[in-house]
Chain A
């Protein structure tokens, strides 16, 4: 199985390289160009002196801040909304109207609130990650078998205990799914947010934008490859944590 997965990857790369060498792709760089570009980004940097490592670090910082904020707010709120019909009835309409607004549409407001920089980018991430985590948490809480709640009550549990020791652990599988989706969307949102400007001059999205401005499409694709790889690795990490955390499943 594993072999075959690699196979399709190599095949696609080979085809891409062939088409590029045959001149069929115009200004689109070939895989070899991209690898060279990656090397340039690490060694020379873009703009020169602004190395890939630092772009990556800046982006990770934003994503971690935004994501952590989303987790800290969305999980407790989701648990409240999932366990209380009153909370749910009051907040649900608001959530349903705010949710479809793309994070990028918030950018102008984010800039007047937080200025251009770390916090407005982190705010974009936060917006992207918040709703998937919230909705999955609510669903998770609501899907806990009512029988378990009743069992807890007959063992002497009151409301607070039920929320903390029955609904929360019971919702955990769904919450973790929310975290996975949330970090994925947050990561995608970040790059878009960075493309609209950062003050420090660092960030993967910003780097791609710079590459486009100087018409270095090999660097654009190299940046895309880094983003894809990092996104993939982050997902794997959450998945790994999930396996450890939810051994009981």
Chain B
């Protein structure tokens, strides 16, 4: 990979986050001084147990939360709020129910001042990318979970973010659809070359997609270990290397989590 493709796109520097519990007034530590560098164009997966702070981590990078201390850098400058250059895909899809599929995708485009017709053409392109041509005029309630998530992905891609932040986007899909979506996302990433940070609690999912897998401890989340995964794409879940790596990571995380 060339230099342009290798520099850090996101850096976490001693990132610390705590919430004040409303009822008790107690301090709830969520992220415990994380340091991480995410290189441009890479597919990074973050795994950790439920409730450890994965969503919080993504929201900090997305600018929807502010750090308690430490900092989040995006392309070298401090993150101060959300912006279209950092696209987020939420677990609960977050589609606008009153907009059709097409108009969900054009939402971000019209905010950029792109004229109506051009926005429509561009949205069509992205809908084709996610395999939803022909569904433009349906409302979100008329779609299956997998289709909704693909619309959400198209909507985020359409504004051409420089990084995709995905929070367990496939968690509520059935196993078969989820596998299909994983393959789809890997293809999409290989085609577009966008950097991706993908949060999941499934090691299997992480090993199937990620080039780098970041393991977090239970709350407050510490970085346990990062694993490089250079198995060639498309990956085969039943290959010995795949199952071997998965087992190794699971074992490591299990041991660490008990500490």
Interfacial residues, chain A to chain B (CB-CB below 8 A): 145, 147-148, 150-157, 161, 165-166, 169-170, 172, 246-249
CA distance A59 to B87 in the complex (A): 55
Would you call B159 and A169 a contact (CB within 8 A)?
no
Among A154, A155, A157, find the residue whose CB has the most chain B CB atoms closer than 10 A.
Answer: A154
A145 to B83, CA, bound (A): 20
In the complex with contacts A147-B92, A161-B111, A166-B96, A156-B84 CB distance below 8 A: yes
Distance in Å from the Cβ of B145 to the closest Cβ of chain A? 15
**For the complex of A and B, 4 pairs with smallest distance between CB atoms:** A155-B108, A156-B84, A151-B94, A153-B82
Q: B222 an interface residue at 8 Å Cβ cutoff?
A: no
Q: CB distance A247 to B84 under 8 Å?
A: no
Could you list 30 A-B pairs, sorted by A, with CB under 8 Å?
A147-B92, A148-B94, A150-B90, A150-B94, A151-B94, A151-B96, A153-B81, A153-B82, A154-B62, A154-B82, A154-B83, A154-B156, A155-B107, A155-B108, A155-B111, A155-B159, A156-B84, A156-B108, A156-B111, A156-B159, A161-B111, A169-B96, A172-B98, A246-B98, A248-B97, A248-B99, A248-B139, A248-B140, A248-B141, A249-B97
Q: Is the Cβ of B84 less than 8 Å from the Cβ of A148?
A: no
CB distance from B74 to the nearest CB of A (A): 13
Q: Are B141 and A155 in contact (CB under 8 A)?
A: no
Interface residues of B (CB under 8 A from A): 62-64, 81-84, 86-88, 90, 92, 94-99, 107-108, 111-112, 139-141, 155-156, 159
In the complex, are the beta carbons of B94 and A145 less than 8 A apart? Answer: yes
Q: How far is the CA of A87 from the CA of B36 in the complex (A)?
A: 42
- Set of chain B residues within 8 Å of A153, measured between Cβ atoms: 64, 81-82
Partner of B107, one of A147, A152, A247: A152
B87 partner residues in chain A, CB cutoff 8 A: 154-155
Question: How far, in Å, is A154 (CB) from chain B's closest CB?
Answer: 4
Question: What B residues does A145 contact at CB under 8 A?
Answer: 94
Q: Which residues of A contact B141 (CB under 8 A)?
A: 248-249
What is the chain A residue whose CB lies nearest that of B111? A156
Please, which residue of chain A has its CB at the minimum distance from the CB of B108? Answer: A155
Contact B90 A147, beta carbon cutoff 8 Å: yes
Cα-based distance from A248 to B156 in the complex (angstroms): 21
Chain A residue contacts of B95, Cβ below 8 A: 151
Contact at B98–A248, with CB atoms within 8 Å?
yes
Contact of A157 among B64, B111, B155 (CB under 8 A): B111
In the assembled complex, the CB of A112 is this many whole angstroms from the nearest CB of chain B, namely 45
